[in-house]
Amino acid sequence: MEASIVVNAAYEISAIDPRIYGGFLEHLGRAVYEGVYEPEHPTADEDGLRQDVIDLVRELGMPMTRYPGGNFVSGYNWEDGVGPREQRPERLDLAWKALEPNLFGTDEFVKWCRKADTAPMMAVNLGTRGPAAAQALVEYCNHPGGSAWSDRRRANGSEEPHGIKLWCLGNEMDGPWQTCAKTADEYGRIANEAGKMMKWTDPTIELVVCGSSSPAMPDFAAWETTVLDHAFGIADYLSLHIYFNDHAGNRPLFLAQPERLSRFIEDAAACCDFVSARKKSGKRIMLSVDEWNVWYHSHGQGAKSEEWTAARPLLEDTYDMADVLVVGGTLNALLNHADRVKIACLAQTVNVIAPIRTETGGRAWRQTIFHPFALTSRYGRGTVLRQVVTSPSYDPKAPAADKLGHVPYLSSSVVWRREAGEIAVFAVNRSLDESLALDVRLEKLGVASVIEHLQIADPDLAAVNSADEERVKPTRIEGAVIRGETLSADLAPASWNLIRVQAAGPVA
């Protein structure tokens, strides 16, 4: 099979906001306890934080991490997680039927962020709590001092403000699984009032309002427009959540799932623009895809662990080679919508549907999906170029609701890294049995030579990584060449690829 891409230095989609490579840390399963926080671990520092995990998070290159949930946040009293640990209460976590010991809270999270080279993105509880609690948390975190909550922070050991600039107004409030779920009108009003008080406390913060929990929600689009009717004035971003699975056992359909995200992004952006037009406003709401990943391997795991216990193992997906292709395709979808998507969070970071897994008291390792994320985060910084793609396609036999139609075998994005003097081509070949001969015409970019071609592929799509063996990982491939302005390379069947090309910059 053959495919081609044409890009030109004059045609850009957008500069990339590095926050699209964000992560997510929820009080769920072994994400916090035995994940990032394990005081008895051999690598634990003076704050009880696992250094081996911190090193891997740094390798992922996550500029931002969302916390503390997720479903957890809709029943969370943030005050329980600050102050002397011996005075913190243990609580039942209704979202995950677990026990929350509150040994790790806001201040510990901020310390972890600083050590892991990531910035905090904080969610407030708009389920069981409301605007007053949300405002108090902003005051605790960001006000310099001289007020009750800011002085409480200083007494707890943080003299300087935490300076948290990005805040989520609740989580998945349209979902009946959510603690104290809301109608669109109920949520829109409470989000607006909370947002007003939070921005009055710190006018420099940015706010994310809850969009639909997935494109399959029955009220999708109606939810967005109603919520934004109420909260348009305080909203900076609208959130989108999406997960992919292979419950149907249809691999071609599974590999096509990132195309659902592209449609979701475009529809959500249309909702934002509709409200803006109706309000006769020039304001443009941007998007935050602050939960996305493959999630299906661990379904039913909860039945194997005891309820109402701390750090009960939940949602520990063991990712395989097929998941590499879906994660790579999702990253391409995010990059190709960089004009609207400014924030995205891989859900999650450690143990719970995560690129990093750990043993209690033992090793930490990279799951298969670690590698496409880390390499895209490292080399997918700069400006996304607009592509003209020609590719053979296939019918994934998708349900009508997915609206996929025929799907190209090639999923790709092209990033111009001006300061580094190079072009990064990210490409997934979704064909299970045929290689793809790819030509990329790089017009007026001053291309010179191929720096490297990294590929992730395995003849067994069920291949996984473990603490004992990192089987699925990038390998250097020879054969990619530059002829004039055209890059030519061969993409193996069912492979993820990064091809870096030296480029001097625009030429006449």
Cβ–Cβ < 8 Å for 396, 250: yes
Residues labelled as active-site residues: 172, 291
CA distance 42 to 54: 14
pLDDT digits (tens, 9 = 90+) for 417-435: 999 999 999 999 999 999 9
Average pLDDT over every residue of 293-300: 92
- CATH topology identical between 2-10+383-503 and 17-379: no
- Cα–Cα separations (whole angstroms), residue 259 to 13, 203, 336, 456: 18, 37, 11, 21
Whether residue 169 contacts residue 195, with contact meaning beta carbons closer than 8 Å, is answered with yes
DSSP class per residue in 365-434: EE-TTHHHHHHHHHH--SEEEP-EEE--EE-----GGG---SEESEEEEEEEETTTTEEEEEEEE--SS-
Residue 218 pLDDT > 90, yes or no?
yes
pLDDT at 305 over 90: no
pLDDT digits over 66-123, tens only?
A: 999 999 999 999 999 999 999 999 999 999 999 999 999 999 999 999 999 999 999 9
Measured CA to CA, the distance from residue 316 to residue 304 in angstroms comes to 12
Cα dist. 89→77, 179, 213, 491 in Å?
10, 20, 31, 55
CATH topology of domain 2-10+383-503: Immunoglobulin-like (2.60.40)
Count how many Cα atoms sit within 13 Å of the Cα of residue 63 in the half-sphere of its side chain: 16
Tens-digit pLDDT profile for residues 472-499? 999 999 999 999 999 999 999 999 999 9
The domain at 17-379 falls in which architecture? Alpha-Beta Barrel (3.20)
Q: Where are the domains of the chain?
A: 2-10+383-503, 17-379
Write phi, then psi, for 242 (nearest 5 degrees): -155, 140
Residue with the two structure tokens 């097929």: 322
Average pLDDT of every residue of the chain: 97
Element housing 64 (H / E): strand 64-67
Give the separation between CA 357 and CA 465, rounded to whole angstroms: 10
> Residue 249 is encoded by which pair of tokens?
């056992």
At CA 124, angle to CA 353 and CA 244, rounded to 5?
25
Instruction: Give the amino acid at 201.
Output: T
For residue 68, cis peptide bond before it (omega within 30 degrees of 0): yes
Q: Is the pLDDT of residue 221 over 80?
A: yes
Position 158 scores a pLDDT of 97
Nearest Cα to 332, choosing from 421, 418, 415, 439?
415
What would the mean pLDDT of 393-399 be, rounded to a whole number? 90
pLDDT reading at 508 higher than 70 = no
Q: Which pLDDT score is estimated for 126?
A: 98
pLDDT cut 90: percent of the chain above it: 95
Residue 300 has pLDDT above 90, yes or no: no
